[in-house]
Amino acid sequence: MSDNLYKLKPIEGLIEIGSLIKDGPVSQIYSCFFKGDPGIIRIDKSLRQHFNLNRIQETEILQLIQDQAYAPEILYSKPKGGLLITRLIEGQLLTQQSIRQADYLKLLAEAMRSIHQLKPSIELTQFNDFILNYQAELRDLRNSKILSRGFDLFRELNQDQQSLCFCHNDLNHTNVLISNSLKILDWEYSSLNNPYFDLSTVIEFHNLNEGEVELFLSHYEQGLAPIDHKLLQSWQLMSQYINMFWLMILQKYDTISDNEKSWMNDLEKRLS
């Protein structure tokens, strides 16, 4: 069991911890029963502070978008204590390969179009706040050409403030679950951002081929303005830089896994 379980003291007697589902750099995820209801509990690690994750805003967002049925229901939340319990959703997480299936790309594109049109009734932070935090965390590496080019590209892309909308900002297959409908998990990075970043994350993270990209975008842009493919390519490059920033911060404060090392080396080659 994790040393972080001391954080459960305020709900002792109300919760029964099950098996460890994921031990990530920022948090640990366990199955649980809370007041008799099956759930999933996330317990933050100290590393969370270096990624500028706003747990209070995340809780407010989850509460506000419940009616959209894309996000899990909160059973208990203590943002300052690093605890979040959501109701268990029975279903199957997608994989690197399964998310590329036509039916799933269609469902995800339609969900993203709906999410990008939401107007949460709270003052949302902008994705620029994450970038400013990455710059501060990596200031001792400010002579890095990769960092310089990445931050310059974001400043250029972020000049378009008119296109900002509500975005998830971490749309990879580990956060997409198929139940009786498509569910999206882990809203911790959600903020105002350019919708092309969400699109580019799906395309880049899953290495979609030309036909898959065309199918995905055709379902997303229904009723919207046609996709600017040149701009999308710039955001795809930006998504690679964002992943590199994240890995560099992780490497600074923690031991990265072999898979993360391989990913980091691949990104370094592509961005050099």
pLDDT in tens, 89-115: 999 999 999 999 999 999 999 999 999
The two structure tokens encoding residue 62:
């989850």
Is 2's pLDDT higher than 70? Answer: no
User: What CA–CA distances, in Å, run from 247 to 244, 266, 268, 272?
Assistant: 5, 12, 11, 16
The reply to whether the predicted model has a pTM over 0.85 is yes
How would you label 85-123 residue by residue, b for 16+ Cβ within 10 Å and e otherwise? bbebbeeeebeeeebbeeebbbbbbebbbebbebeeeee
Is 65's pLDDT higher than 90? Answer: no
> Cβ-count burial of 207 within 10 angstroms (0-12 exposed, 13-18 middle, 19+ buried)?
exposed
Q: Is the dihedral of CA 121, 43, 247, 94 positive or negative?
A: negative
Is 239's pLDDT higher than 60? Answer: yes
